[in-house]
Copies of this chain bind each other. A is one copy, B any other.
Amino acid sequence: MGGDFGPRCIVPAIARSLSRLPQLDVILVGAEPALQSALAACPLPAERVSFRYTSEVILADDPPASVLRRKTDASMRVALELVRDGQAAGCLSAGNTGALMVLSRSILGTLPGVDRPAFMAALPVAGKACYLLDLGANVDCTADQLFTFAIMGSVAVSELAGMPAPRVGLLNIGTELHKGSQRVREVAERLHNCPQLNYVGSVEGDGLFRDQADVVVCDGFVGNVVLKASEGLADYLQEEMRRSLDQQPLMRWLAPLLRRVIAPVRERHDPALHNGASLLGLRGVVVKSHGAATERAFAAAIERACLISQAGLPQRIAERLAGSGL
């Protein structure tokens, strides 16, 4: 049980989710002392919670390859084995992302036609949510892989957001046909000719926030940088507003009123509400929480994992991939 705050944040998040989701049961996987001390501070209903104690910990800077060979009793590995063996409907982790990716592939395996899984999450945008994949599982992607991501993303948004034909875009540096790398132009042509997708063409960086598509595909390097840059800029602008208010002493009396205007915006864009990136393309449900997730954010990720599992997303993706001839 990883992440920056470990069980003392995760256990209260579970308590919150158990009270909201009557169908949820939880298996806690981790080191006994840390789990028991978090449970002493925040008890959970015994009939809905079980435990698997583990002896090893995967650290944030453990290289993924070495995690594969060693640390056979790490909580992340054991949790994935529970999914593989049908004892858990999905695995949620706030730990080392690279390790989660490598262990998921090795323990659960990928769906037929999937070479590499991809992380997908919604950008923290309200009203016009835009899902982006990949978010960092793959630093370099082939045209084949990007094409598979488009199919997987389309199925996922269709199931999770209830859209029959989500608009699929390809992240690019221009909307003209000759723009982008050779690889991007190649995948653009394949997407354009795929009757199963509602492909809307290239989407530029600003288009992510202009309601131009419901799912946007890119390689994991670009996706990760864009997602984090968006978080950084949103934080920074909020801080600037606060500073501007402080610099105008006559306006300070307005602060409580101003907060009433800003609060709904902040609430709608709270990254915590969007926490939980789905690792798509596996033979099982795997969701990654932000390492620094708060209690509220971790609860959002639990609910996302439940939703994905109830939708039977891996099966839905497998069906669509089989139909696309991949």
Contacts and interface: CB of A to CB of B under 8 A. Distances in A.
A269 interface: yes
A225 B205 CA distance: 4
A261 to B, nearest CB: 5
Interface residues of A, number: 59
A173 B138 CA distance: 11
Contacts of A46: none
Interface in A218-238: 218, 220-222, 224-237
A207 interface: yes
A204 B180 contact: no
Interface in A226-274: 226-237, 240-241, 244-245, 247-248, 251, 254, 257-258, 260-262, 264-265, 268-269
A126 B247 CA distance: 15
7 contacts: A136-B173, A184-B221, A209-B232, A240-B268, A254-B254, A254-B261, A258-B258
Interface of A: 60-61, 63, 98, 125-126, 136, 139-140, 171, 173, 176, 178-181, 184, 204-210, 218, 220-222, 224-237, 240-241, 244-245, 247-248, 251, 254, 257-258, 260-262, 264-265, 268-269
